[in-house]
């Protein structure tokens, strides 16, 4: 990434067919200019699906019309207001006791596993379950859901790999079946009578598009599909990365246990250096010049968020985790501008509560010896798939 930033900050990549944009200032400029750089391709599949896969998806009328992250039209502001109402700073602050309760229960489970087996995988237990439970409660979805978290997680994992991986053959079709089952279940959910307006389903039912029309089943299902994945998977990845880093850094875990206030600034630095969403996409709306490179209209861009957080033009000694650096919050890991992540404050709060409470309950936690940990490595997502720990 350093070489790209220095020598080819805007480079066409034959392998993906995308223009790689690696400098902080370029990525920031792109995200702040929605007229020239459209979000339309943000959640498109990166590869071309086989006919068999397309058939599987067509059977459930799978469609992700423009709603949130992929919406550059005038309907975006209305959709976004729904999210802001449910996830604003006050709502997040008010939900801290609820999150603490969810984390305490998850830690009981971790404790039982440690006692019974001697080891526990934090990635597939607490890091996965807490974001799910918190998001479902905050969006008022908990009572509407009639499937368990294992099923939701399997559907979400499959969707992520289908769209941001490059599965082939049977694997692609198998993932499409899971994504289709997820989508069919969501269309069923949004077709039922809506609960009160203070929930996501209620707000979607009451919502009107700029032309005064209510949302159709497809639009409502698309919002839920995106939200369940955006609200949970990214936070799970963030927590797994943070657990692993904190347990590997000499003295860090003990410090968290003794001085919980050190968690928050440290977590912000990890978000900068190791963002769960490593890249995000845009497409040029007209011919533009970026870092001296002329791009035609319709050029798909891969904004390298993980490179921006390590750009020495903005962050001194970017490879070092410096919890009190002056511009710690300047990173672009949550995006910036019109589409900036609506869940950023929630994710930050969850990181703080989860790490603080885990270190307080298990100050003697140790990472099990690992040769090379299995990593999730998709075009836009990177995180450890396993964080195996023991006590003592």
- Site residues (vs ligand HEM, CB under 6 A): 31, 39, 42, 68-69, 80, 83, 87, 135, 230-231, 234-235, 238, 275-277, 280, 333-335, 339-343, 346-347
State in angstroms the smallest separation of the CB of 336 from ligand HEM: 6
State in angstroms the smallest separation of the CB of 319 from ligand HEM: 20
Nearer to ligand HEM, 114 or 385 (CB): 385
- Report the alpha-carbon distance of residue 120 to residue 387 in Å, rounded: 8
State in angstroms the smallest separation of the CB of 168 from ligand HEM: 27
Nearest to 19, CA basis, from 391, 300, 238? 300
Phi first, then psi, for residue 336 (nearest 5°) are -160, 155
State in angstroms the smallest separation of the CB of 271 from ligand HEM: 7
Walk across the sheet containing 120-121 and list its strands. 120-121, 388-391, 365-367
Nearest to 287, CA basis, from 278, 279, 277, 297? 297
Nearer to ligand HEM, 46 or 56 (CB): 46
- Report the alpha-carbon distance of residue 153 to residue 10 in Å, rounded: 36
Nearer to ligand HEM, 176 or 242 (CB): 242
Q: What angle do CA 167, 170, 173 make, to 5 degrees?
A: 75
Nearer to ligand HEM, 24 or 176 (CB): 24
Nearer to ligand HEM, 238 or 378 (CB): 238
Q: Which residue is nearest to ligand HEM (CB)?
A: 343
State in angstroms the smallest separation of the CB of 391 from ligand HEM: 27
State in angstroms the smallest separation of the CB of 308 from ligand HEM: 11
Identify the H or E element spanning 19.
Answer: strand 18-21
Nearer to ligand HEM, 56 or 144 (CB): 144
State in angstroms the smallest separation of the CB of 226 from ligand HEM: 7
Nearer to ligand HEM, 180 or 239 (CB): 239
State in angstroms the smallest separation of the CB of 145 from ligand HEM: 15
Nearer to ligand HEM, 56 or 190 (CB): 190
Nearest to 39, CA basis, from 68, 11, 10, 16? 68
Nearest to 326, CA basis, from 274, 276, 272, 277? 272
Nearer to ligand HEM, 87 or 295 (CB): 87
State in angstroms the smallest separation of the CB of 318 from ligand HEM: 18
Using CB atoms within 10 Å of the CB of residue 211, give its burial: 0 to 12 exposed, 13 to 18 middle, 19+ buried. exposed
Q: Which residues contact 163 (CB under 8 A, 6 or more apart)?
A: 43, 44, 45, 46
Tokens of 313: 């033009």
Q: What angle do CA 251, 244, 2 make, to 5 degrees?
A: 100
Q: Which residues contact 302 (CB under 8 A, 6 or more apart)?
A: 13, 16, 18, 19, 20, 21, 279, 280, 281, 379
Nearer to ligand HEM, 72 or 318 (CB): 72
Report the 3 state secondary structure along 280-336: EEEEECCCEEECCEEECCCCEEEECHHHHCCCCCCCCCCCCCCCCCCCHHHCCCCCC
Which bin fits 286, alpha (ψ -120 to 50), beta or left (φ > 0)?
A: beta
Q: Which residues contact 51 (CB under 8 A, 6 or more apart)?
A: none
State in angstroms the smallest separation of the CB of 239 from ligand HEM: 8
Torsion from C-alpha of 91, 97, 99, 103, nearest 10 degrees: 170
């Amino acid at each position: 990434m350093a070489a790209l930033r220095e020598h080819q900050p805007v480079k066409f990549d034959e392998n993906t067919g995308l223009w790689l944009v690696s400098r902080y200032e370029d990525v920031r400029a792109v995200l702040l200019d929605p007229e020239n750089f459209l979000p339309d391709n943000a959640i498109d599949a990166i590869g071309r699906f086989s006919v068999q896969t397309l058939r599987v998806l067509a059977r459930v009328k799978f469609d992700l019309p423009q709603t949130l992250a992929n919406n550059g039209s005038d309907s975006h502001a209305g959709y976004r207001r729904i999210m802001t109402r449910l996830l604003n700073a006050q709502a997040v602050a008010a939900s801290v006791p609820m999150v603490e309760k969810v984390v305490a229960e998850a830690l009981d489970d971790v404790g039982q596993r440690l006692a019974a087996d001697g080891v526990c995988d934090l990635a597939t237990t607490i890091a996965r379950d807490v974001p799910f439970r918190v998001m479902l409660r905050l969006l008022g979805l908990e009572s509407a859901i009639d499937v368990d978290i294992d099923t939701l997680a399997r559907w979400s994992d499959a969707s992520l790999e289908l769209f941001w991986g490059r599965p082939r053959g049977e694997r692609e079709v198998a993932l499409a079946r899971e994504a289709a089952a997820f989508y069919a279940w969501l269309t069923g959910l949004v077709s039922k009578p809506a609960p009160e307006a203070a929930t996501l389903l209620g707000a979607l039912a009451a919502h009107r598009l700029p032309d005064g029309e209510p949302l159709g089943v497809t639009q409502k299902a698309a919002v839920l599909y995106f939200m369940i994945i955006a609200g949970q998977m990214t936070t799970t990845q963030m927590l797994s990365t943070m657990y692993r880093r904190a347990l590997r850094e000499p003295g860090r875990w003990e410090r968290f246990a003794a001085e919980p206030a050190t968690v928050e600034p440290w977590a912000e630095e990890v978000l900068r250096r190791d963002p769960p969403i490593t890249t995000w996409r845009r497409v040029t709306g007209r011919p533009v010049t970026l870092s001296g490179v002329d791009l035609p209209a319709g050029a798909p861009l891969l904004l390298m968020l993980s490179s921006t957080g390590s750009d020495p033009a903005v962050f001194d000694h970017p490879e070092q985790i410096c919890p009190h650096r002056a511009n710690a919050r300047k990173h672009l890991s949550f995006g910036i501008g019109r589409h900036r992540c609506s869940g950023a404050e929630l994710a930050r709060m969850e990181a703080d509560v989860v790490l603080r409470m885990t270190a307080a309950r298990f100050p003697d936690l140790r990472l099990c010896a690992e040769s090379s940990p299995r990593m999730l490595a998709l075009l836009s997502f990177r995180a450890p798939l396993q964080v195996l720990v023991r006590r003592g």
